[in-house]
Amino acid sequence: MKPAPAADRPLALVTGASRGLGATIARLLAADAYDLVVVARASAPLAALAGELRSHGGLVVEIAGDVSEPEVRRAIVAAVERRGRLDLLVNNASELGPSPLRPSTQWSLDALERVLRVNVVAPLALIQLLEPYLARREGLVVNISSDAAIGAYPGWGGYGASKAALDLLSRTLAAELRDRSVAVVAVDPGDMRTQMHQAAYPGEDISDRPLPDATLPFWAWLLGQPHAEISGQRFRAQSDHWGTPP
C-alpha cells in the first residue's frame, strides 16, 4: 500500500518511547500510518527504535532527553509546530524512585520531587504547551497511570502518589478541555515485564509478568473510540473490563 501523503497522516507524540510500553505503542502507531515524535532519555535505543519505525514509511522525529527539562519540552514543541497540529499525546515517561523500593518514611524529599516532576509536572507542561495543536485536530491525551495509584502498596508510596495525582489531573483536564474538543484519559497498563518493574524488584524473577505486547488489543480498541465518549475515563489495559466510571 502506498503511504498516505504527509499532510494527511495523523501525528502522535510518545514519551518514554525507547523501550517497554512506550516502544510497543509507538510500533502500533507507526504500523497504523501515524507520523511520530518519539522522546526518551536513552539516545541509542531511541535511535534504533526510530529506524525501525521509519520502515513503515512515515515521518519519525526522535528527541533524546528528559521531559522534565524545559529545553527538551521546547524541542518537542518545535517538532510539533512544524506540522502545526497533533492528534495524539501519550505521556508515558515515568520515574520509579528509589530502587529497591523502600517505605515512604525512608524516601528522600529530593527523590520524591524528582518523581513528581517527571510523572506529574512534565505531563501537565506538555499538555499546556501542546493544547493548541491538539485542539486543531480534536486530539486525545493519554496519561499512563498505574495500579499503584489506588493500591497503597508498601514501598510504592511516592510513585503511587504521583500516579494518583496524574489520575485526578486527567479527569480535571478532561472537564476543562471539553469545550476545546481535546479529550484526556488515564490508562493503567497493568503489571508488565519491563525494565522499570525489574528495577522495583532487583534480583527477583519477574518472568511471570506479561510483556507490554499484552496491551495491544486495548490500544487498538482505544484508538478507535470517539474521543468525546471516552474523555475523563480511567482504563485498565489488562482487565476483563477495560473501562472504569469517570
With cell 493548541, the residue in question is: 132
133 is annotated as an active-site residue: no
Q: Can you give the length of the chain in residues?
A: 246
H helix or E strand, kind and range, residue 71? helix 70-81
Q: Which contiguous run of DSSP H or E holds residue 127?
A: helix 122-135
> Phi and psi (nearest 5°) for 156?
-100, 15
Take residue 236 and report the three cell numbers written for it.
485498565
- Given a contact cutoff of 8 angstroms between Cβ atoms, the answer to whether 192 and 211 are in contact is yes
Give the contacts of 140 (CB within 8 A, at least 6 positions apart): 87, 88, 89, 134, 182, 183, 184, 185, 227
Catalytic residue among 133, 153, 159, 201: 159
Start-to-end C-alpha separation, the chain: 39
Distances (CA, A) of 93 to 47, 79, 226: 17, 18, 25
Q: Hey, which residues are catalytic here? A: 159
